[in-house]
Structure 1
Amino acid sequence: MTSRTLRRAARMALAALITLASFTSTGLVTRAARAETPSVAGAALPAIEKTRLGNGLEVILHVDHRTPIVSVNVWYHVGSKDEPAGKNGFAHLFEHIMFQGSKHVPEDAYFLYLERVGATDVNGTTNPDRTNYYETVPKNRLSLPLWLESDRMGFLLSHVDELTFAGQRDVVKNERRQNYENAPYGLVGQFIHERLYPQGHPYRLLTIGTPQDLDAASLEDVKSFFRTWYSPNNATLVISGDIDTKKTLELVEKYFGPIPSGSIPARSVPAPVVLDKEARLDVVAGVELPRVYLTWPTPAMFSPGDGELDLVAHILSSGKTSRLYKKLVYDLQIAQDVSAYQSSGQLGSTFEIVATAQPGHTAQEMLKAIDEELDTLRSGGVKDAELARAKTSVLSALTFQLEKNANRADQINAYNQYTGDPNYLPKDIARYEGATGNALREAARRHLPPDKRIVTLVTPEKGAPVAGRLRGGAR
């Protein structure tokens, strides 16, 4: 594909994004002041008016009449980073408990009610920064998810008892066993986090939680965590789809307005993580193939450098012509897979490269080849064609994601939490569109230094846990 073709593809992706970015909303109790909205590729985008109910609940509306459906998306601004010492896994535990029933919703009836009206995209997820819940329903059934979400926000503790708590705790512990303790390389991420983040850092422990903390938890501990964080003034409700704004806001006020606000604790913001040298982790695992992980602390989501590192990751490992794939998998044939990614978070991010060896090759071989490519990137930068491909890839992925109504609702909520601006999309596009080859090279030099990182080498060993065991500590 020529550079001209790549640039044309990038412009087409951008044009599609601009079309999708035309969000509209209205306010009920208070309205954010209208601001001048940036212009992207000559197209001005309207601002979103963010509503706040009297109890502090943020409400954001996105009107889209193309399909007769509505997505309801609730973000509670609490994740595993907000868990006190000894309570690791509580946010994820609540992701499960919130589906079990509330004062006016019987046990296990939540999904049943939604299935009866043809709902789709019904689920919840937890990460270090937030917990979200979402569902998409036919436009004439909007009142159902609003009632369900409001009932568990306001009346969950009227239903939760020892049986529900114990049952969901066992589900979470089994999920940890399945996805971490019994999964190949499953605990390597935990070893890296414990080395990267100091004791007490909000990101040090995994969101899934530890069996020790979950077993030690009491029902009253769990209820206290809910009372602390799951209140309307610590949540944002996005409603996206074929809606009438006036009627929708009346429904929101009806169901959520009577729920009292809570007292949200002050949250400390830790200093950015800085490594002063390279650390090595030696892991043995009951697996067939060696693996290498390279990890750097990097800028927080939407901070300067975050977007550039997204593009660096694409240049390194996205597609068969990417630098690391071509060298390790195709040319040298020492790896069967390689990936690079910028994992962005509210308090900081990590950039990670992971490669799994071909039989007969070692983690050290892969590390040497990866370092050679990184040195080339830091010294020589990127070519115009590489940059164009990376931009096209990122913008196209965002385009396809936002074509789905449920995804748009969640993205609006993400922009709101991480930037305070639910209409951040044009700025998000601009940070990729405006990135230069020099900016990517400088981001790699500054944030991916060869002497300030964590290198984790996984060596197969018979009898070792399949998830991995740290040997000899860090050095």
Structure 2
Amino acid sequence: MRHLTTAALPALAAALALSACAQTTASSPASTPPPAAQAALPKDLVAAVDIPFEKFTLANGLTVIVHTDRKAPVVGVTTYYRVGSKHEPRGKTGFAHLYEHLFFGGSANVPSFDIPLEAAGSTPTNGSTWYDRTNYVETVPTGALPLALFMEADRMGHLLPAVTQDKLDKQRGVVQNEKRQGDNEPYGLMSYAVGEGLFPVGHPYRHETIGSMADLDAATLGDVRKWFTDHYGPNNVVLALSGDIDAATARPMVEKYFGAIPRGPEVRPVQAAPVTLTAPSSREMTDRVPVTRITRNWSGPGLNDADAPALEIGLHVLGGLASSRLDNALVRGKEVAVSVTASAQTFEQVSFLQATMDVKPGVDRKQAEAAFDQVIADYVQQGPNEDEVRRAVMSVISGEIGGLEVVGGMGGKGATLAEGELYSNDPAKYKQDLARMAALTPADVRTALQRWLSRPVVSVAVVPGERTESGETKGGWGDEDSTRPPPADPKAPAAKLPPAPKLSEPPVAPIADLDFPTVEHATLSNGIPVALARRTAIPKVALSIAFDAGFAADSLDTPGTQALMLAALEEGTTTRDATAIAEEQERLGASISSGGSQDRSNVGLSALTANLAPSLALLADVVLHPAFRPADVARVRNQQLTALQQVQASPQALAQRTLDGLVYGAHPYALPSDGLGTPAAVAALTPEALRAAHAKWLRPDLARITVVGDITMAQLKPMLEATFSGWKAPAAPAPRKALDAPLPVQQARIVVLDRPASPQSFIAAGRALPIKGTTQGTEALNLANDVLGGGFLSRLNGDLREDKGWSYGVYSAVSRPVGPRTLLVSAPVQTDKTGASVKAILADMAAFPAKAPPTPVELQRVTEGAIRGMPNSFQTNGSVLQAIENNERLGRPDDYYETLASTYRTIGSPAIEAAARQYLQPDGMTIVIVGDRKAVEPQLKGLPMPIEYHAAPALAGESAAATETKDTSQ
């Protein structure tokens, strides 16, 4: 992956009616739970899913798929190349991914791929590499489609003249820091061991896509040029255009820009198949991890195999459902595990079949492992029952359909069509897969499980302790030894290339301002405000109940209370246990979630419109009638304590929670923004404490309901009244968080948390800003931050990643809570560049704008690019819901996003410079560094600020002495 990305919210999409179920009102507990809803048959769900398309092929072999979706004036451009890490020969591991990075470095007629597209409103512009393919995605306003096609064609046909030794060296450094960043996380070395255990040396799926450091070091300019000419011809490409476009319009555009590119060599098929081992194998690794993680692994068939759908459903029943076999037996039953999962990760020619257990602290590992193996063995022998298959199919199909709400990106409709064509010669392969799943019987699943999971297993365990292995030596073929030929000189000059034709970028057509959905308002009889935005693209509703609480509410209780209370809601009500809650959601095709932020505690619902009434009844039971049974509370408390250990083992998470306290002092925001609290505080929380917090904060006079989806207010309000009208506010006044509490004086300092042998340092810097409340009027600050560090093209990322190659990504952000805002900078950097990176960050911040005001290109990119990118920001119901909630929380009008374009157009360079001078300077920044003190300390000498050194928190298996603190200052 070239850019850091965030996961999209899952969604459901299906055009069918589900029969309603009997329900009780939410005003009082029911004596017995309502009968489970009768969900429609999966085949009915599948029949409603359709992505119509047209396909054509150019004379040079380029395959083009076009899908028309007019709901927004955007087009997803999705390009799949038939080359991935499985195509890498010995000594060339990591090449496919390295080339993905180089592909963004400009081509003969496009000096920068990112700048024109971001300025045109592309969101996102990204790429990724995996075993079978390399893909590139951008979603652009319709008027920018010619530009996007021109640029994709130029780098497909005329990239090599722009690939220089300097670019290769810089992107090599970026990729190696991406590898270090992944390796540095807890359990970061485990996937290497799984691949090595499942496949012999030389198997195409054995080595990691990131590759080995040695192979990356040895890459020459000639090597990467040959990689391009061997694999990047148009005849090895599928181009999918999805959105506000049709085939009649698309074909002449594609012919114009791609038609003259000559065919390349055909990518030769790779021989790869699942491997049946002769005997079971096991491997144990020690690492700085909070709990022991046990995995069972098998290789399985590829995605075109008849068993693939059955294995996906079978593994989902085992450990994917909230009510899975492993969850019910080991987490809720014997309580020997804090978490379990199982999945079939399916690729073109093989799949990775895995079951995972995190052992509960204090439980004997042998006892837990025996129970884990027994559940798997019994399940493989017996197979699932009819209800499990039906719930799993409904869950998986709903999740698959969810991504189709988006036209482009990594998982939208364009990617679905392109992958079907690339791997199966059928863009509609998704229909075949869903139909196979819908037709599965328990016997089908049992047969597939017995065929594949009765073979010898690869067991990999990671246990707490000091890390004894290094990722620096992993990721290659695994046969590196003294007999291997010496690598070529990575600085060897490459042959000169003939000049490319001179071409000009097409203009970008203007776009209309954003048309944000109309927001209707109502108030329930008990005073709860309701906001609704109707969207009819899919028959689904997204709903959120937001409470004015959040993690800052813990300042009036015990740290970690809100997170634990919210997590316990789905563990049982007065009429249902956790399994019943999970199973009912799965039958309904609904999903209930809970979580928090600094300012709000949220309980959300995603439901099919036709089944909204029973879904609301279930939601109300969860919100209003949690049981907080001692056994349930003890279970989720152990899970939260384990999560705390996990964040203390993660350099990024540890740096952020440390920074929160240092920046905010005694303010409510000083509590860690992850909401997990502290080990001592969480361990002391009781069911009574959670009941008290629930009564104190989850009350109707602190609640607001926001709904987005295919429903009218006339339909919605009676449902909400029937469900929530009996919910009354208590007599006690609502609590008030002290968000106006004074802040400590912001002073420059460095705090180093010593984490020995870390392959990277994580830098988190921040300071509180004298801004709070509504974000209206601070748009110039947002644009100024975009220049400094708010995106891939920002100055910080351009300096430390693209120019110096010291990091995989450096970003800054200005938080937007109700109370005081915070300026934050995050930078994972290679260890030997820690001190230089701190100096570079401070220098870049100080130079803006005194020495380097915004350039015209930057100004156009952050203003006009932001305006053009807005239509793509609200494709999903979830994104609209979040926008409405943000407007309410920050006191902004409903039409804020519709007027934002006009606001941006009034902001010029003087306003951006003024905001940067006032808020984005490095003065008073607290800098937290999580890394190896021995390596870092000499690099920090001479910095003009106090420096403190502390040990990172001790984890399970480490000596308590590791927590002793040593302070020094300069």
TM norm. shorter chain > 0.5: yes
Does residue 424 (structure 1) correspond to residue 443 (structure 2)? The answer is no
Equivalent AA in structure 2 for residue 142 of structure 1: L
Equivalent AA in structure 2 for residue 338 of structure 1: V
Deviation at 1:175, TM superposition (A): 0.4
Paired residues of 2:321 and 2:392 also in contact (CA < 8 A): no
In structure 2, what is the equivalent of residue 162 of structure 1? 165
Distance 1:258 1:362 in 2: 66
Instruction: Label 1:3 to 1:152 Cα distance change in 2 as closer, same or farther (>3 A).
Output: farther
State which of 90, 101, 104 in structure 1 corresponds to 2:106: 101
Which of 110-119 and 168-177 deviates more? 110-119
State which of 449, 457, 464 in structure 2 corresponds to 1:460: 464
Distance 1:233 1:105 in 2: 22
In structure 1, what is the equivalent of residue 46 of structure 2? 14
CA deviation profile, 1:322-381 (whole Å, cap 9, x unmatched): 110122211222211111110111121120011112212354333312222122222322
Distance 1:385 1:156 in 2: 54
Paired residues of 2:314 and 2:445 also in contact (CA < 8 A): yes
**1:22-421 correspondence runs (5 A):** 22-25=51-54, 50-106=55-111, 109-180=112-183, 182-406=184-408, 407-421=412-426
In structure 2, what is the equivalent of residue 438 of structure 1? 443
Which of 310-319 and 152-161 deviates more? 310-319
Which of 275-284 and 264-273 deviates more? 264-273
Instruction: Label 1:184 to 1:447 Cα distance change in 2 as closer, same or farther (>3 A).
Output: same
Equivalent AA in structure 1 for residue 294 of structure 2: V
Distance 1:6 1:82 in 2: 47
Equivalent AA in structure 2 for residue 266 of structure 1: R
3-state SS in 1 of match to 2:37? helix
Distance 1:200 1:237 in 2: 31
Percent identity, aligned pairs only? 37
Paired residues of 2:124 and 2:138 also in contact (CA < 8 A): yes
Deviation at 1:6, TM superposition (A): 5.1
Distance 1:467 1:98 in 2: 26
Instruction: Label 1:404 to 1:264 Cα distance change in 2 as closer, same or farther (>3 A).
Output: same
Paired residues of 1:286 and 1:468 also in contact (CA < 8 A): no
Distance 2:124 2:435 in 1: 30
CA deviation profile, 1:188-211 (whole Å, cap 9, x unmatched): 211221121111111111000110
3-state SS in 1 of match to 2:159? helix
Structural RMSD (CA): 2.2
Distance 2:267 2:69 in 1: 36
Distance 1:433 1:366 in 2: 34
5+ residue gaps, structure 1: 26-49
Paired residues of 1:288 and 1:460 also in contact (CA < 8 A): yes
Paired residues of 2:43 and 2:439 also in contact (CA < 8 A): no
Provide TM-score, normalisation by structure 1. Answer: 0.88
Distance 2:374 2:328 in 1: 13
Equivalent AA in structure 1 for residue 464 of structure 2: P
Distance 2:182 2:144 in 1: 36
Distance 1:222 1:364 in 2: 49
Paired residues of 2:60 and 2:263 also in contact (CA < 8 A): yes
Equivalent AA in structure 1 for residue 341 of structure 2: S
Distance 1:125 1:267 in 2: 21
Which of 390-399 and 184-193 deviates more? 184-193
3-state SS in 2 of match to 1:405? coil
3-state SS in 1 of match to 2:388? helix
Deviation at 1:244, TM superposition (A): 3.3
Which of 325-334 and 197-206 deviates more? 325-334
3-state SS in 1 of match to 2:40? helix
In structure 1, what is the equivalent of residue 3 of structure 2? none
Deviation at 1:15, TM superposition (A): 4.7
Instruction: Label 1:247 to 1:294 Cα distance change in 2 as closer, same or farther (>3 A).
Output: same
Distance 1:382 1:196 in 2: 26
Deviation at 1:468, TM superposition (A): 12
Distance 2:457 2:96 in 1: 29
Instruction: Label 1:303 to 1:288 Cα distance change in 2 as closer, same or farther (>3 A).
Output: same
Equivalent AA in structure 2 for residue 428 of structure 1: D
Paired residues of 2:51 and 2:413 also in contact (CA < 8 A): no
Instruction: Label 1:350 to 1:23 Cα distance change in 2 as closer, same or farther (>3 A).
Output: same
Deviation at 1:98, TM superposition (A): 0.8
Deviation at 1:172, TM superposition (A): 0.3
Deviation at 1:383, TM superposition (A): 1.8
Instruction: Label 1:56 to 1:11 Cα distance change in 2 as closer, same or farther (>3 A).
Output: closer
Distance 1:432 1:149 in 2: 36
CA deviation profile, 1:224-279 (whole Å, cap 9, x unmatched): 11111011111111111121322211010010001111112533413431122211
Equivalent AA in structure 1 for residue 53 of structure 2: T
Higher relative contact order (CA 8 A, sep 6+): 1
Paired residues of 1:286 and 1:466 also in contact (CA < 8 A): no
Distance 2:461 2:51 in 1: 47
Which of 140-149 and 360-369 deviates more? 360-369
3-state SS in 2 of match to 1:5? coil
3-state SS in 2 of match to 1:73? strand
Equivalent AA in structure 1 for residue 132 of structure 2: D
Paired residues of 1:88 and 1:209 also in contact (CA < 8 A): yes
Provide TM-score, normalisation by structure 2. Answer: 0.44
Equivalent AA in structure 2 for residue 431 of structure 1: R
Q: Aligned pair count?
A: 440
Question: Which runs of at least 4 in structure 1 moved beyond 6 Å after TM superposition?
Answer: 1-4, 466-470
Which of 382-391 and 206-215 deviates more? 382-391
Instruction: Label 1:66 to 1:285 Cα distance change in 2 as closer, same or farther (>3 A).
Output: same
Deviation at 1:387, TM superposition (A): 1.2
Deviation at 1:467, TM superposition (A): 6.9
Instruction: Label 1:137 to 1:468 Cα distance change in 2 as closer, same or farther (>3 A).
Output: closer
Equivalent AA in structure 2 for residue 205 of structure 1: H
Q: Which has the larger radius of gyration?
A: 2
